[in-house]
A and B are shown apart, each in its own frame.
Chain A
Amino acid sequence: MNNSYRIALAGNPNTGKSTLFNAFTGLRQHTGNWAGKTVSLAEGTVRHKEKNYQIVDLPGTYSLFSNSVDEEVARNYIVFEKPDITLVVLDATSLERNLNLALQVLEMTKNVIVCINLIDEAEKKGIKINERILTRKLGVPVIKISARNKIGFPMLLDTIDRLVSGKIECNPVQTTYNEEIEEKITTIESKISNLVGNTISSRWLALRLLDGDKALLTEFNRRLVLNDQVRREA
């Protein structure tokens, strides 16, 4: 492939995703329609070290279980559009709440970078965050930034560069569930991976099926039909 990569920004509402997006992309922005729905997402580009990045600003949500249109759009983008990197933007002053979404993303996709934003606010409040311990526990790079004050950007861009060029690898921590659930996952996971190959995390899909996520199955069917049409027309 050429030197072009896609990055999605995900996170809770109000964590500074659009601020980061604007700081990165400046005037190189437009809105595009995605996933058949009339939800438009802001897209923009940034260039760093001879590489082009296309950045998509996803709607802010507390969760990605498709309880709402916003959650569905964000989830579908991460799972089906498969960005090269998903940047999860967290609010440093409210990590406990924000990590819920981060852990969900880590179950969905491999290449994740966690940005702890509003680090200026956290410091004012006397909150200290050890990003190295978090990196070790989450299995993906964790970087402290302030999107508004453009702090931590060189480190973030450098990490993005190292990830897409294969110099570092993510190993996202997977939540372990109780014995009953883990047994069921094991039972259906291999069947799922026979069906979807390694395009989608079979563990994540197994969990969604066990949760009875009908909306996801509908989305799957819709996309299979679309793919068929595209193939027939080609």
Chain B
Amino acid sequence: MDESNKISLFQGKKGNLIKISSISLEGVMRRRLLDLGFVPGAIVEVIKKSPLGDPIAFRVSQTTIALRKEESMKIEGELVNHE
């Protein structure tokens, strides 16, 4: 895999598609994120950034979910090109 494509969800730009590879969180927060669809392999779209970049809205398995910086920084993936 091309390492240069690796970014955190927090670094994503509006419209980016990111394929999740790892979630560096533990406990209930990790559980919650997995339940919401932030699982390795899932493709997440960056929908909207608020003016200060926090929180950020993502589209994940057909639902829009906003994450705080604390979480989005700890979810990594690779940029997927638009077809």
Contacts and interface: CB of A to CB of B under 8 A. Distances in A.
Helix, strand, loop or mixed for chain B's interface? helix
B31 A65 contact: yes
A67 B32 contact: yes
Nearest to B42: A96
B35 A100 contact: yes
A94 B62 contact: yes
Contact of B35 (A63, A93, A94, A96): A63
B35 A65 contact: yes
A62 B28 contact: no
B32 A97 contact: no
B63 interface: yes
The listed residue with most A CB atoms (<10 A of its CB), out of B35, B36, B62, is B35
A67 B31 contact: yes
A67 B63 CA distance: 19
A115 B18 CA distance: 32
Interface residues of B, number: 9
A62 B35 contact: yes
B55 interface: no
Interface string A90-107: 000110110010000000
Contact of A96 (B32, B36, B62): B62
Contacts, number: 24
B9 to A, nearest CB: 18
Contacts of B37: 96-97, 100
Nearest to A94: B62
Interface in A34-87: 62-63, 65, 67
Contacts of B62: 93-94, 96-97
A94 B28 contact: no
Contacts of A97: 37, 61-63
Contact of A94 (B31, B32, B63): B63
B60 to A, nearest CB: 8
Contacts of B61: 94, 96-97
A65 B36 CA distance: 12
Nearest to B35: A63
Contacts of B32: 63, 67
B58 to A, nearest CB: 13
B61 to A, nearest CB: 4
Nearest to B32: A67
20 contacts: A62-B35, A62-B36, A63-B31, A63-B32, A63-B35, A65-B31, A65-B35, A67-B28, A67-B31, A67-B32, A67-B35, A94-B61, A94-B63, A96-B37, A97-B37, A97-B61, A97-B62, A97-B63, A100-B35, A100-B37
List 4 A-B pairs, minimum CB-CB distance, nearest first.
A63-B35, A97-B61, A94-B62, A62-B35
Given A93-B62, A96-B37, 5 more contacts: A63-B35, A67-B28, A67-B32, A97-B37, A100-B37
